[in-house]
Amino acid sequence: MEWTNIEAEELVVGINTVIEPTARIRGINGKAKKIIIGDNVYIGGDVQIICDHFELGDYSKIQHHTNIHGYKPCIIGHNAWIGQYTIIDSIGGTTIGNNCGIGAHSQLWSHIKYGDTLEGCRFLSESPLRVGNDVWFVGHCIVSPITAEDKSMALVGSVVTRDMKYNEVYAGSPAKSISDKAGNQFNEVTVDEKYGKMQHYLELWGGDDTKIRIVRSENEIGAETDVSYFNVSNRTYTKRRTKAEISFMKYLLPDKGKFVPINI
């Protein structure tokens, strides 16, 4: 397919991906150097992505009027959900892991730049923004160039100016951890518990379950090329691109279970 609203020297767009006609994807000054967009992605109307190097993983969604821009690479993993009117800045470089949620009207920044340095302004910096896996900015969050460790979470309206620690919940302006009162975003779940839940989801799904297998470890993955194996121990699956696999993944997302592809 020819994408008339994408300008890139190197362009990869996966299967079943929808990019609304009013979305625009290009580089800072004309064509981007590299644009890679995964399978089963949705990019909404009036989204602007202005980066020389941009990557977006499978099953990710970018809702309408989102703006993503910057000189350095912006890399976003699988299963992302980015709400409408969000801003993601990559002037200092931005990396967002798998399974991350960014609520509507949030702003993620990797630079501080405006004041006149000739006149003595002290505030001028570009720093990488690093967001781990399973991080959730619930909505209307403003995030400085920090590191958000895996499974951390910022509640609605948080202004995040310091690093977010593993599996802690933050709130306020400036945001502080409230995990001692609110608990963590994730509880510990055993492999057997995950396996049981996934088997239940497979029954409720109602699709062709002969093409889907739930396993507890890599040792249980077979050699069939038309069967998708979902490994609950590390949340990976063998990507086959079958109708059954795509249907099951869409059934699981966004809140039943998130899996990322693995090559075996």
Lowest mean pLDDT among 85-89, 121-125, 157-161: 121-125
Secondary element (H or E) of residue 32:
strand 32-37
Question: Is the CB of residue 14 less than 8 Å from the CB of residue 36?
Answer: no
2 alpha-carbon distance from chain centroid: 25
Task: Tell me the angle at which helices 243-252 and 191-205 cross, rounded to the nearest 10 degrees.
Answer: 110
How far does the chain reach from its first CA to its final CA, in angstroms? 29
Q: Residue 2: its pLDDT value, please?
A: 85
Percent pLDDT > 90 in the chain is: 97
Q: What pTM was computed for the model?
A: 0.96
CA atoms lying within 13 Å on the CB side of residue 249 = 27
Q: CB neighbours of 239 closer than 8 A, spacing ≥ 6?
A: 58, 228, 245, 261, 262, 263
Per-residue pLDDT band for 176 (boundaries 50, 70, 90) equals very high
Per-residue pLDDT band for 1 (boundaries 50, 70, 90) equals confident
pLDDT (average), residues 236-249: 97
Q: Residue 191: its pLDDT value, please?
A: 98
pLDDT tops 70 at residue 264: no
Q: What is the three-class DSSP state of 262?
A: strand
pLDDT digits (tens, 9 = 90+) for 200-238: 999 999 999 899 999 999 999 999 999 999 999 999 999
Domains and CATH numbers, the chain: 8-182 (2.160.10.10), 191-262 (no CATH)
CA atoms lying within 13 Å on the CB side of residue 176 = 5
Q: Residue 54: its pLDDT value, please?
A: 98
pLDDT (average), residues 236-264: 94
Secondary element (H or E) of residue 242:
none
Per-residue pLDDT band for 33 (boundaries 50, 70, 90) equals very high
Cα–Cα nearest to 71, from 46, 47, 58, 54? 54
Tokens of 102: 């960014």
Q: How far apart are CA 22 and CA 179, in angstroms?
A: 41
The overall average pLDDT reported for the chain is 96
pLDDT (average), residues 165-175: 98
Q: What is the three-class DSSP state of 173?
A: coil
Percent pLDDT > 70 in the chain is: 99
Task: For residue 200, count other CB atoms closer than 10 A to its CB.
Answer: 12
